[in-house]
């Protein structure tokens, strides 16, 4: 049982993870580490890009902040928007018939669904969609990109950012953003924001309830690629431990949930999930 009778260990053999999951119902909580092999940096991992994320209050309270954010995000989308699922995403999609009840993801890149996973709760939203802060209208990001290209023709000459220029939330390094022209909602003329949860913004209650609905039936919660630094993810680990259920953490480096874990694997996500897929589907 977690939180006592089994101490979390680093570098445990994947066979132990396989033995814990085989024949049981389990749910995945995924973080940015799952997507690093798709070329999307994380905030806190070994290959992370140090950056201060946009705060919700700053964004909604300042047109200047909106201009800065959208200039960077417009350029960053050229890489984020073309990212493709990696072996880890594909392994999880293949494991649905083998006890995987669903995925609660902190990622906004949509790669779990693109890989074929069906039961996914995107806790922090979907960066491929845009929402109007004034009327609530949702529209595809691709349509907005086309509009921004017409409004800001000079940025059309900027190349897609490399890893060192890309921010974890899809922004890119753009120094000359002060004259960036914002697009407004085609329905009401209001302010546009990516349909993701910014730092300082609350996750919508129905989405939290949907996540708990995936976690509750699970015998095991498997955390993959998350440092559990923010409470939106850590609360599910604490919830499982309080109920006496097992928690597995697969992540390079320490997490806030290590002391609560039944098993801790200090390992890469894609490699571990691929090994797990092979073992469970062949077993």
Known binding-site residues equal: 106-109, 132, 135, 185, 188, 225-227, 251-253, 269
Specify binding-site residues for Zn(2+).
Answer: 132, 135, 185, 188
From the list 89, 124, 163, 175, the catalytic residue is 124
Residues 6+ apart with CB under 8 A from 221: 26, 27, 28, 29, 215, 236, 237, 240, 245, 246, 247, 248
Specify binding-site residues for NAD(+).
Answer: 106-109, 225-227, 251-253, 269
Nearest CA among 222, 279, 266, 271 for reference residue 2:
222
Strands annotated E in the chain: 26-30, 100-105, 120-122, 125-132, 138-140, 192-196, 220-224, 246-250, 263-265
Residues 6+ apart with CB under 8 A from 86: 34, 35, 37, 38, 111, 270
Q: Let me know if 124 is a catalytic residue.
A: yes
Beta bridge partners, 221, equal 27, 247
Residues with catalytic annotation? 124
């Amino acid at each position: 049982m977690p939180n006592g009778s089994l101490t979390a260990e680093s570098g445990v053999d994947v066979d132990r993870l396989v033995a814990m999951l085989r024949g049981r119902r389990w749910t995945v909580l995924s973080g940015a580490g799952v997507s690093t092999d798709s070329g999307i940096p994380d905030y806190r991992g070994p290959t992370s890009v140090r950056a201060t994320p946009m705060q919700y209050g700053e964004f909604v309270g300042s047109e200047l902040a909106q201009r800065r954010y959208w200039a960077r995000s417009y350029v960053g989308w050229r890489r984020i928007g073309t990212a493709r699922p990696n072996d880890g995403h594909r392994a999880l999609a293949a494991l649905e018939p083998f006890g995987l009840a669903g995925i609660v993801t902190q990622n906004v890149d949509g790669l779990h669904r693109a890989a074929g996973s069906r039961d996914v709760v995107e806790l922090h939203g979907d960066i491929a969609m845009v929402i109007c802060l004034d009327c609530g209208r949702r529209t595809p990001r691709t349509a907005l990109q086309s509009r921004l290209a017409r409004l800001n023709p000079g940025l059309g000459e900027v190349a897609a950012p490399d890893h060192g220029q890309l921010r974890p939330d899809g922004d890119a390094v753009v120094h000359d953003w002060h004259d960036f022209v914002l697009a407004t909602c085609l329905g009401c003329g209001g302010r546009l924001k990516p349909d993701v949860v910014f730092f300082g913004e609350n996750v919508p209650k129905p989405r939290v309830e949907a996540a708990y609905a995936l976690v509750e039936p699970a015998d095991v919660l498997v955390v993959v690629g998350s440092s559990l630094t923010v409470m939106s993810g850590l609360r599910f680990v604490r919830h499982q431990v309080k109920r006496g259920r097992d928690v597995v953490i697969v992540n390079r480096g320490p997490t806030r949930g290590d002391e609560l874990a039944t098993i801790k694997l200090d390992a890469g996500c894609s490699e571990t999930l691929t090994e797990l897929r092979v073992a469970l589907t062949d077993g």
